[in-house]
Each structure stands twice: as structure tokens, then as C-alpha cells.
Amino acid sequence: MKRLLITGAAGALGKVARAGVGHLAETIRLTDIAEMAPATGNEEVVQADLSNFDATRDVIDGCDGIVHLGGQPTEGPWENVLNANIIGFYNVYEAARQTGVKRIIFASSNHAIGFHPREVTLDATARPRPDTLYGVSKVYGEALASLYHDKFGIETAILRIGSCFPEPVDHRMLATWLSYSDFVRFIESAFTSPRIGCPVVYGASANREQLWDNQLTSYIGWHPQDTSEPHRARLDTEKGKPGPNDPSLLHHGGMFTSFAHPDD
Ligand code: NAI
Ligand code: 15L
């Protein structure tokens, strides 16, 4: 690639991507509504609000690929979900169409399917069952990705990320944890695979407990290498072993299923 754009570059995963994928393109363009560290090496830094179409088009113009991480990253007021995700996701896809972007990674979330009961293993064919307005916005983003692939030929790897943090912080994350290194490996696979189409991939490391099955999208060639298991004993000590009816272990989305309406 000549130029790869990372949105949400000031955020947690944006910083991880920034540190890990510099080799994937001649130039890495970084964007966020928030301030970012100054450009070094082959980087360009452009501050922009993705809810503004013209600003989004300017930042996307000249890019071949996008790692789209920017937006509202959890449940929050409808106004935030609407601007950053509903409007923001549309702006990214429409600007990508107008400027000829070929391939996108869309950071979706397990909260797009969060209300499925945990004992049902899900694959890419699972129907959406969002657990929050945030989850609804991710289902909508996935639908946009599908439309812009089928109608306009833009490929998207839809990554339904579990819990991408330095380490798992509770028992649910023993199943949902995605290590930073496996996240970077996913970006590499999605941009080096010859053809990806528009697959739904679940973003979890090679944990002992698996809620998700990526067999249907194995052609991408992503092989997670890390596991949450070394953290189990620490979590048992710190948090105590959860019982079978622990509310955080009833659904794929954990406690998000019990969040109140964010505007109440
Ligand atoms: P984060 O909150 O650290 O980063 C999000 C970034 O988006 C922030 O830097 C923020 O300034 C930027 N942003 C928000 N509104 C914007 C706008 N209107 N225009 C431009 N930039 C805007 O979140 P994190 O953890 O890095 O997540 C990145 C993406 O991955 C998000 O889309 C999130 O929904 C998704 N994700 C993350 C998971 C995780 O475990 N970290 C799990 C599932 C999904
Ligand atoms: C997400 O979608 C959030 O972005 C992240 O902060 C975590 O809450 C994660 O899901 C999770 O389910 O652990």
C-alpha cells in the first residue's frame, strides 16, 4: 500500500496499531478528533472529526486502506453514538467510495451479538443481537460495510473485537481477551491476504475458553498466538471464582446486557 490510514489513532488500540503496522505501507496517516503524538518516520498526523463529512473526505483522500478504530467505544449518550458512530461510520464509507479506497478493517464489537446466551458458540452467520445502543451502531457499521462491498466493491474485514487490553481483568475476559500482538497480527493478515471480501471475524486470542468459531473465515490466514490462561490463577485470587449464574457470564456481551438506557 502507498498510504494506510488509522482512525482513532489517539486511542488505546490506535496507539497499538500505530506502533505495530508501520511496515504495511509507504506512508501511515494517523487521524483522531483528539491530539496525537507528533509524526515520526513515515507518518502523517491529521486531526479531524469523523462526524464532519468534508473533514473525513480530506483525511481519507489519497489512502488505499483504512484501519477504522475511531468513534464512541462503549455505551454512551445517544448523541455521542449518533455523531461518532452512525454519522461517522457513514462518512468513512462514503468518503472511501468517493476517493477509491480498496480495503478497510472495521472495528466492530462483541456487543453487536452481546445478547446471545454464552453457552451458544457463535460463528460468522450468527444473527445480530446487540446489547446496547453502542452495539446497535456496530451492527449498522457492519451493514454499511456489507453494502459498500456488495455494491461498490470495497473490501472490509469486520472484526468483532472481544476485549482488547494489555491483559484480561476479569473472568469473562479469559474467553473474550484479544492480546495486542494478536490484534496487530490480524491487521497484517487482513491487509496481506490477496482477497478478503467482507468477512465477519471474531477478535479473540487462542484462549482455552472459546465463545466464537472463526472456521468460516480461516482463509484470511489469521492465527492468534496468545492465550489468557496464564492469568486465570491471578484472577481467581484477586476476584474469587465466579459462580455459574454470575451475571457477567450469562451472555456474550457480559454486563453490557444490564446497562440502563444511557440517557435515563
Ligand atoms: P478509545 O476510546 O481508546 O479510542 C477511540 C478513539 O476514537 C479516541 O481516541 C477518540 O478520540 C476517537 N474518536 C471518538 N469520536 C471521534 C470522532 N467523532 N472523530 C474522530 N475520532 C473520534 O477506544 P479503543 O479501545 O481504542 O477502541 C477502538 C475501536 O475498537 C472502537 O471503535 C471500539 O468500539 C472498538 N472496540 C474496542 C474494544 C476493546 O476491547 N478495546 C472491543 C470492541 C470494539
Ligand atoms: C467493547 O466493545 C469496548 O470497546 C471495550 O472497552 C470493552 O468493553 C469490550 O467491548 C468488552 O466487551 O470487554
Answer yes or no: is the C-beta of 69 below 6 A from any ligand 1 atom.
yes
Which atom of ligand 1 approaches the CA of 14 most closely?
Answer: 26
Q: What is the pLDDT of residue 28?
A: 98
Our CA dihedral for 137, 98, 38, 27, rounded to 10 degrees, sits at 120
Answer yes or no: is the C-beta of 107 below 6 A from any ligand 1 atom.
yes
- Which of 24, 35, 1, 23 has the alpha carbon at shortest distance from 9? 35
Q: What is the pLDDT of residue 94?
A: 99
Q: Looking at 25-29, 134-138, 210-214, 241-245, which range is the least confident one?
A: 241-245
Q: What average pLDDT does this structure show over 227-240?
A: 97
Model confidence pLDDT, tens digit, residues 175-191: 999 999 999 999 999 99
Q: Is the pTM of this model over 0.75?
A: yes
Answer yes or no: is the C-beta of 205 below 6 A from any ligand 1 atom.
no
Helix, strand and coil content of the chain, in percent to the nearest 5, comes to 40, 15, 45
Report the mean per-residue pLDDT for the chain.
98
Sign of torsion over alpha carbons 120, 236, 176, 172? positive
Q: What is the pLDDT of residue 156?
A: 98
**Structural contact between residues 197 and 150, judged by C-beta atoms closer than 8 angstroms:** no
Whole-angstrom Cα distance, residue 124 to residue 132? Answer: 20
Ligand showing the shortest atom-to-Cα distance for residue 106: 1
Q: Is 219 assigned a catalytic role?
A: no
Ligand 2 pocket test: pick from 72, 111, 164, 202 the residue with the most ligand atoms within 8 Å of its Cβ. 111
Q: What is the pLDDT of residue 30?
A: 98
